[in-house]
A = this chain, B = another copy of it.
Amino acid sequence: MAKGVVPRTARRIPDATIRRLPAYLRALEAEAGQRLTSAALGVLTGFSSEQVRKDLAYFGAFGTRGVGYPAQDLASEIRHILGLDRELKAALFGAGHLGTALARYVAATHRDVRIVAIFDPDPEKAGSEIAGTAVTSLVDLEGEVERLGVAVAILAVPEAAAEPLARRLAAVGVRGFLNFAPVMLSLPPALDGGPPITIHNIDLSIELQTLAYFVQVHETASV
């Protein structure tokens, strides 16, 4: 292959690969050494060295044969691939315990993601502040979201509130959702040929109930 800049759209990249990139990034940032081999990165992240090499090779040839990967440069590269070299503007919905925990966690650990607004319908919460961001009522929700340029929404709201809210947000251009409510969000497939909408669901019940299965199965299996 010709040397130099590798086209970023050359091949289709597996979702599974994308989901491993944050782990590589975390490991690279924690190490901060000069170089790491794919084997070392594998140990740090729990993936095989072949997996590490294949994943990274989708985006270009960042390593040096016989040596390994340059930690700093590779970290920058992954940040760029994930789009974390530009600040991601997020809005949080729901200032309950879950929302509060999320806001604090993001503020404390993600320089690349900024929570630009926190919305909650409770009038008693409006005006308070969580991790440096004011809690706002839902009056003029759409106006605020558009004014702030919110790209993604984090939904920490009750089950019934999630879908109507998501629809309103999708209508004003929010294209990513991190949904903690135990419902399958079904949104219209993006208005008028606009960019697709991505939904990531985090469902505690699924995790708990599948955990129940694996714990139970292993119980019977050992007999």
Q: List residues of chain A with CB under 8 Å of any chain B CB.
A: 1-2, 4, 7-9, 18-19, 21-23, 25-26, 45-46, 81-84, 86, 88, 90, 96-98, 100-102, 104-106, 109-110, 112-113, 151-152, 175-178, 182, 184, 186, 194-196, 198, 200, 202-222
Q: Is the CB of B175 within 8 A of A218?
A: yes
Cα(A83)–Cα(B207), bound, Å: 13
Q: Is the CB of A186 within 8 A of B7?
A: no
Q: Is the CB of B21 within 8 A of A209?
A: yes
Cα(A144)–Cα(B204), bound, Å: 25
Q: Is the CB of B8 within 8 A of A209?
A: no
Contact of A219 among B23, B195, B217 (CB under 8 A): B195
Contact of A152 among B7, B25, B104, B215 (CB under 8 A): B215
Q: Is the CB of B211 within 8 A of A194?
A: no
Q: Is the CB of B213 within 8 A of A18?
A: yes
Cα(A182)–Cα(B186), bound, Å: 29
Q: Please, could you name 18 A-B residue pairs with CB atoms under 8 Å apart, sorted by A?
A: A2-B214, A8-B221, A18-B213, A19-B206, A22-B203, A22-B206, A22-B210, A23-B206, A82-B209, A82-B212, A98-B105, A106-B204, A106-B208, A110-B208, A152-B215, A176-B215, A177-B211, A178-B204
Sample of 19 further A-B pairs with CB below 8 A, known A83-B212, A110-B205, A195-B219: A1-B210, A2-B214, A22-B203, A23-B184, A45-B184, A83-B215, A83-B216, A88-B211, A88-B215, A97-B97, A98-B98, A112-B212, A113-B208, A113-B212, A175-B215, A176-B215, A178-B207, A200-B207, A202-B207
